[in-house]
Structure 1
Amino acid sequence: MEHVNVDEEPSATLVYRVERQVFDEEYVSSQLLHTKERTPKTIGQRVAEQFRCSSEKAKSVVLSLLPILSWLPSYPVKEYLFGDIVSGLSTGVMQLPQGLAYALLAAVPPVYGLYSSFYPVLLYTFFGTSRHISIGTFAVISLMIGGVAVREAPDSMFPLNGTNVTGLVDIDARDARRVQVAVALTTLVGLIQLFLGILRFGFVAIYLTEPLVRGFTTAAAVHVCVSQLKYFFGVKTKRFGGPLSVVYSLIAVFKDITSTNITTLIVGLVCTVFLYGVKDINERFKKKLPIPIPGEIIVVIVSTGVSYGMSLSENYQVDIVGHIPAGLQPPTIPDFSVLPNLVADAVAIAIVGFSMGISLAKIFALKYGYSVDGNQELIALGLCNFASSFFQTFAITSSMSRSLVQESTGGKTQIAGLLSSLLVLLVIVAIGFVFQPLPQTVLAAIIMVNLLGMFKQVRDIPALWRTSKIELTIWVVAFVASVLLGLDYGLLVAIGFALLTVIYRTQSPKSVILGQISDTGLYCDTDEYEEAAECSGIKIFHSNSSIYFANSDLYVNSLKEKTGVDPTQLLAERKSQQKRAKTKSGEKKDSSHSPAQKKNAVAKLDVELGVAHEVLDEAQKQVDALSNGQVAEAQAESDSEEARFLQPLCPVHSIILDFTPVNFMDSVGAKAIKAIIKEYATINVRVVLAGCNRTLLSDLRTLQFFSEPVTPDIIFPTIHDAVLHCKHRGGCRSCPAVE
């Protein structure tokens, strides 16, 4: 029984006293805990439960699939509507130029960026769980799509008028094919996200750690920036993809740097300086400005007017956006013939897109006190991509820059996103033609300035150097691999390396010996804390890792090293001691005379002196008695000598394995621990386990861990229970805790 007293001392410090017997697993499982009886359900019963319909379950399913129904009926119009209107218009104004610009990254005509800024945003309003993120085109995803589109539809496949003359490309045919590839890829991305969401695979985002994502997106910013140099300088180079594409693109641009269009460069530089200045003003005075200055839309409107008024395309050969068809495209079925070549790319885009979306969604949800569902976010993004692809869109996700604008301008719900999509719709239907004279270098400037936030992630390096070298390595590997190998292979390498770091951490855990803090039940690292003292005759071994096939040998080696008790070495020393003891004993026996020799010596002396026969017999008796006494004394001396050599192998009589950090153990780990127990038993050292959770104990029973000589009475719920048991067994009373 356990008696608990809580007393309040004069100093207002609560004192907690516990009086109970020492618990071991045998007592706990038989006396304290009893498993609830549950009738196992058949497969049919489980299926019937899943598909059983009720009004509550139907309502729950509808609300989970359409989260808008959970908050729209109670939407506070007076409090939220004005903020959502201002936020929606501000985000929509930003959405327009970014949609046009990111279409260039996706290697499709600019109007498809507008389509991708309308349909997905409209759908996310109904299916998304975040109230603040801005869904639409995003630089990283657009660049990944563009790489696939260029790979599947290179310029060489579309010679002008059937000729093979270098440099003559049928632009319309090439763009049409790239749109087909981008749309088919988006369809596949949507299907993958839907499939993962339905199977409740929202947890896959945890494998994309923050350092990995930030290193990857920084590398993507490098790719994006390099890809825009040709538009910024107005040079004609082909688009590269795959490993070392950044290097090839830079070489191609610098080779043709002498053919730079000066007018294009000047326009680009002016727009870059203006956008950077506006962004800096918005950042410095964000608390004083009611809404951020819409620098991007100002640049687009002014540069479009200048380009139209000065005829930059005709007079100065400045590349412009070109024809933007008015109205929406009718729905069409994507070209599924290209899907087999796009599976790997679609998986990468689906995971990256979801990771970016859920990361931003969680940030805003934490800030404003609501929750987001990772699985529903997967379904929402999947529906946005899949359904929108029938209307000629490319894959989307949330944008960091637009989400910050949507939140900072007073947006409270996805009504703001709905209004921004309606603003884009207005441009598509009515005034899209206005942007036809827009120079492409302006879009390049918009893209490059928007990358500043990603390039600032380089500041992570010194911070990670101070906090975590392993996370710094993940960041660097993700960055370098993605820059050199391309975003698809780079992401694969980064994820693989991140998983390897997990294995490395479990294979190289920190192992310590614990000591007791005096007059408490606390046990801490003896190397780190002065107050932690080892218990006499007891070693408490702690390793902060689970035990499985990859680290079981390392665990055993670390145990022997830290405790200083190696049974194999000690047994070898015992054999050597026995051999030395026997050798020394034999030497002493040889040095002493035998009884026969003593008898002959006495008899000879008697004959020489003429001693009578009776005296000789008496002397012989004395000699025999003396000889027997010397033999017994020699034997006793030999035994004491051997006993002195063969003292106990080590002063440790018990080893406690702290299993508090152990979450799981496989069959290899269980066999290793069982072998340890048997091995230490050969040198009379008892090994006990402490701090096993109930799940681990259940696993050990399944693995048939408890069989001779291992029994449940060596399992203790706490380290303190194990220490008290071992001290009692070892006869140690030096610690007050034993009393």
Structure 2
Amino acid sequence: MRSSCRGAGRETTAMAQEESVRLVPVNGAVTTLDGLRMVQVTRPALTVACRSSLYDHCPAQAPDLRERVRRQTHACSRCSLGRLWSAVRARLPILDWLPEYRVCHVLLGDVIAGVTVGVMHIPQGLGYAMLAGLPPITGLYMSFFPVLVYVLMGTSRHVSIGTFAVSCMMMEKLVLELSTRDSTLTTTPDPAGENGTLVLAPDGSPHSVVTSVNTTAASTAAVSPSPQEVAAVLALVVGIWQVLMGVLQMGQVFLVLLSHMIISAFTTSIAFLVLTSQLKNVLGIPVSRYSGPFKTVHTYRDLCLGLPAANPVVVVVSVVCIIALVVNNEILKPRMRKVSRIPVPMELLVVVVGTAVSDLLHLEERHHVTVVGHVPTGLPFPSAPRMELLPSVLVDGFLIALISYTSTFSIAKIFAQRQGYTVDAVQELYAQGMSNAFGSFFSCGPVAASMSRSLIQEAAGGVNQLTTAFSCAFVALVLSVIGPYFRTLPHCVLSAVILVSLKGLFLQVKDLAKLWSSSRLDAAIWLATFVVSVVVGLDYGLLAGLAASAVVLLLRSQRPPALHLGHVPFTDLYLDLDTYHKVVKVPGVKIFQFGGPLHFGNASYFHSSLFSVTGLDLAAAKPAATTTVPLMDTRQSEEDTSSQDNGDGDIMNQDEVNEGMNQASTQEADKDSSSSQPPSSRDLTLATVGSQAVKSSTCSTSPVCRWLVLDLSFVSFVDTTGASLLRQLHRDLQTAGVTLCLASASDRVVDALERCSVLEEISRDLVFHSTHDAVTTITSLDPYHSPATVPDL
């Protein structure tokens, strides 16, 4: 064993000499031969108390509740026209950007972009409304009325508000459940065919679309709500939730709760459900609508059973439309982008051509192809939503409000960062909430931003919210004049447009592969959200994602990394002894680093890992506390080194070490029983050579441990349970003759320990600025001298 320790001593000394000869001065700076600059800092070793006194630490005092209420009351009482105008401008950003609008420079681009986006609104509005179980004309209403309010209140210059696949798919469940509770639906036809609103029959069949006029409140109260009435009250609830979140300043809070994994999995599951819901239209198969858990399984069962009855004409039309759209998106659009910033409106062309072919060939009468049917002209009259439905949609409305806002604000942030401006999270809540609330009075469902339309708006040259106003004008023109011409538009054409637009959502499956390679726990969150959303339901899927995130967060917080640190020679670095082979131990000192917050959930793990990782044994340390290594002045370390060197490379021989230990035992035996109290750092200066260190892998037995340093650099907070654990740990170590020191604790952690009275037992003189400050104070370690190795005793 002695020979192995001698060899270790030679190895460590040679390593230190090798490190020292690598330092060469370059232009006045010390640089290694491989080009890495060396940093040399000279400062006193600091405790937290000394640091606070030396650098005049003045922590900011947060006002208490009474003071905050007093300030808010005082601010509200100082009402003036100036403050009122500032409040109005804060909620109506158009008052800021419209006076600065450069007509000559950007008007033409905004008009072109607005018309281009308006063209996109037509097929997407018709298709997504059908996806939500609403009459197709409702999608055009959703592309007009709510968007007007967003022009006034929105802060994003490039997002396109309107129909959105995710919100429409979530709305479809409520429309199906609430609008079919009563099997009888009384309708009154409109002979003139004008100024009416379309209502789907309760069986949901495409041929059961009828027309009804606005009836009085007395007549509508006796019948079950129509799909549009359900959508309207849902939009109102979504708007109320979003405005309430804005009042409570909770925009960023919900963005944190809904992580990227949850949003990616949730929207991908919606894409799968949208595909499922549109297959019946693409294949021409009559499929019953299901609600509740496992509805996807029942739908695919009916699709498989109905395949022999598929309509070949519908299949051909669907395939032709899908091929045309895919060729445009994958081949024509990238090439046209090099020539013109205005994309080819292939979606609108497919809708127009499909409508014309259906009308010329009489597909509805001859081949039983389902078509849109009557589309009323003009704008609907405002009407109040049916408030008795409000309790039935509160929970789903909150989920839709949360998902719609998160998706829209994420898109807004992408374009804001790309174009160099900022978006206000709170104002976006107000803008979207008021947009939904306003649209609810015109039979609109909840709206959100679409990434595809927003990309087109940016590419076509739109620079601010006025682009959205021009798209509204184009939609209004369609509603006033062109609407009836879409009567023969086949449903399969709209379904083809919807399916092709889902490509971006389906590509999010790549996120799962990335997560699987980087973190299996994150991949588990993605899978849990996706599977539960598809199999059970969207609301349960979102809750499952949040629950999985909470469990993963708890697991990571409950078992953070726990490391036994050693010293890197010639530096102030302390690294893991198990993974860095040039790191050496400091004799008599255990350094333990905990890589997470210390709270009730991981207090037991902290305690067990502390002793298992460091190898500290209090039962063995207590009897060893009666033995002290003889004191040695570190200023004489170089002389001691030369006197102890026996000439053949050994640091010190075994007889000298045993003699010193025997002398220490004799001195300690003369002391009284009070020796169990922790000695000062001066009393525990180890008799080692120069700056003391022990290579962890070379010696089987370490010197007596008299100090335990807790590196708290990664501990973000400590709760009362964690503070109690530190207090009890200090007492146990004190009984065993080991002194506990805290290092690298943040001001927040120090304040928490003070409030929990921990620092009344652990002196503030033992709370150090950094781990190196603690070790330097304890052992009088000189970082600029080569560390020697203490041989095995």
TM range (shorter): 0.7 to 0.9
Aligned to 1:617: none
Deviations 1:362-395 (CA, angstroms, capped at 9, x unpaired)? 1111111111111111111101111111111000
Give 2:138's match in structure 1, choosing from 112, 137, 145: 112
Matches within 5 A, 1:148-297: 148-154=174-180, 157-158=183-184, 171-172=209-210, 177-203=226-252, 204-285=254-335, 287-290=337-340, 291-297=342-348
Q: Secondary structure at the match of 2:28?
A: coil
Partner Cα separation in structure 2 for residue 479 and residue 440 of structure 1: 28
Aligned to 2:716: 663
Aligned to 1:719: 771
CA contact (8 A) 1:193 1:382 kept: yes
CA contact (8 A) 1:95 1:424 kept: yes
Matches within 5 A, 1:20-419: 20-35=43-58, 42=67, 45-51=70-76, 52-53=78-79, 57-154=83-180, 157-158=183-184, 171-172=209-210, 177-203=226-252, 204-285=254-335, 287-290=337-340, 291-419=342-470
How many Å apart are 1:557 and its aligned residue? 1.3
Gapped runs of 5+ residues in structure 1?
A: 1-6, 578-635
Structure 1 residues 390 and 564 mapped into 2: Cα distance closer, same or farther (>3 Å)? same
Matches within 5 A, 1:472-621: 472-568=523-619
Structure 1 residues 649 and 513 mapped into 2: Cα distance closer, same or farther (>3 Å)? closer
Q: What one-letter code is carried by the residue in structure 1 that aligns with 2:704?
A: P
Q: What one-letter code is carried by the residue in structure 1 that aligns with 2:297?
A: V
TM-score, with length taken from structure 1: 0.83
Deviations 1:211-232 (CA, angstroms, capped at 9, x unpaired)? 2111111110010000011111
Partner Cα separation in structure 2 for residue 536 and residue 101 of structure 1: 74
CA contact (8 A) 2:232 2:439 kept: no
Partner Cα separation in structure 1 for residue 339 and residue 730 of structure 2: 70
Aligned to 1:694: 747
How many Å apart are 1:530 and its aligned residue? 3.6
Tell me the percent identity. 34
Partner Cα separation in structure 2 for residue 70 and residue 534 of structure 1: 64
CA contact (8 A) 2:180 2:202 kept: no
Deviations 1:434-483 (CA, angstroms, capped at 9, x unpaired)? 11110011111111111111111112222222222222222111111111
Structure 1 residues 160 and 373 mapped into 2: Cα distance closer, same or farther (>3 Å)? closer
Deviations 1:694-729 (CA, angstroms, capped at 9, x unpaired)? 222222222222223x2211211222211112214x
Structure 1 residues 249 and 160 mapped into 2: Cα distance closer, same or farther (>3 Å)? farther
Structure 1 vs Structure 2 CA RMSD:
3.1
Partner Cα separation in structure 2 for residue 555 and residue 55 of structure 1: 59
CA contact (8 A) 2:621 2:737 kept: no
Structure 1 residues 444 and 508 mapped into 2: Cα distance closer, same or farther (>3 Å)? same
CA contact (8 A) 1:109 1:175 kept: no
Q: What one-letter code is carried by the residue in structure 1 that aligns with 2:72?
A: V
TM-score, with length taken from structure 2: 0.78
Q: Return 679-688 or 426-435, whichever deviates more.
A: 679-688
Give the number of aligned pairs: 661
Structure 1 residues 463 and 49 mapped into 2: Cα distance closer, same or farther (>3 Å)? same
Q: What one-letter code is carried by the residue in structure 2 that aligns with 1:440?
A: H
How many Å apart are 1:649 and its aligned residue? 10
Partner Cα separation in structure 1 for residue 185 and residue 107 of structure 2: 54
Structure 1 residues 160 and 42 mapped into 2: Cα distance closer, same or farther (>3 Å)? closer
How many Å apart are 1:424 and its aligned residue? 0.7
Q: Secondary structure at the match of 2:338?
A: coil
Partner Cα separation in structure 1 for residue 619 and residue 448 of structure 2: 60
How many Å apart are 1:150 and its aligned residue? 0.3
Deviations 1:49-72 (CA, angstroms, capped at 9, x unpaired)? 441346665454333212223322
Q: Secondary structure at the match of 1:267?
A: helix
Q: What one-letter code is carried by the residue in structure 2 that aligns with 1:251?
A: R
Partner Cα separation in structure 1 for residue 397 and residue 593 of structure 2: 45
Partner Cα separation in structure 2 for residue 236 and residue 18 of structure 1: 79
Structure 1 residues 165 and 271 mapped into 2: Cα distance closer, same or farther (>3 Å)? closer
Partner Cα separation in structure 1 for residue 474 and residue 339 of structure 2: 23
Partner Cα separation in structure 2 for residue 12 and residue 469 of structure 1: 44
Please identify the structure whose Cα radius of gyration is greater.
1
Aligned to 1:628: none
How many Å apart are 1:32 and its aligned residue? 3.7
How many Å apart are 1:533 and its aligned residue? 2.7
How many Å apart are 1:524 and its aligned residue? 2.5
Q: What one-letter code is carried by the residue in structure 2 that aligns with 1:328?
A: L
Partner Cα separation in structure 1 for residue 69 and residue 533 of structure 2: 48
How many Å apart are 1:278 and its aligned residue? 0.9
How many Å apart are 1:574 and its aligned residue? 7.9
How many Å apart are 1:10 and its aligned residue? 3.1
Q: What one-letter code is carried by the residue in structure 2 that aligns with 1:703?
A: C
Structure 1 residues 317 and 361 mapped into 2: Cα distance closer, same or farther (>3 Å)? same
Aligned to 1:682: 735
Q: Secondary structure at the match of 1:515?
A: strand
CA contact (8 A) 2:619 2:736 kept: no
Structure 1 residues 738 and 65 mapped into 2: Cα distance closer, same or farther (>3 Å)? farther
How many Å apart are 1:252 and its aligned residue? 1.5
Give 2:508's match in structure 1, choosing from 457, 463, 477: 457
Aligned to 1:703: 756
CA contact (8 A) 2:282 2:314 kept: yes
Q: What one-letter code is carried by the residue in structure 1 that aligns with 2:70?
A: Q
Q: What one-letter code is carried by the residue in structure 2 that aligns with 1:47?
A: Q
Structure 1 residues 57 and 696 mapped into 2: Cα distance closer, same or farther (>3 Å)? farther
Q: Secondary structure at the match of 1:493?
A: helix
Aligned to 2:726: 673
How many Å apart are 1:175 and its aligned residue? 9.7
Q: Return 321-330 or 169-178, whichever deviates more.
A: 169-178
Aligned to 2:478: 427
Partner Cα separation in structure 1 for residue 595 and residue 85 of structure 2: 45
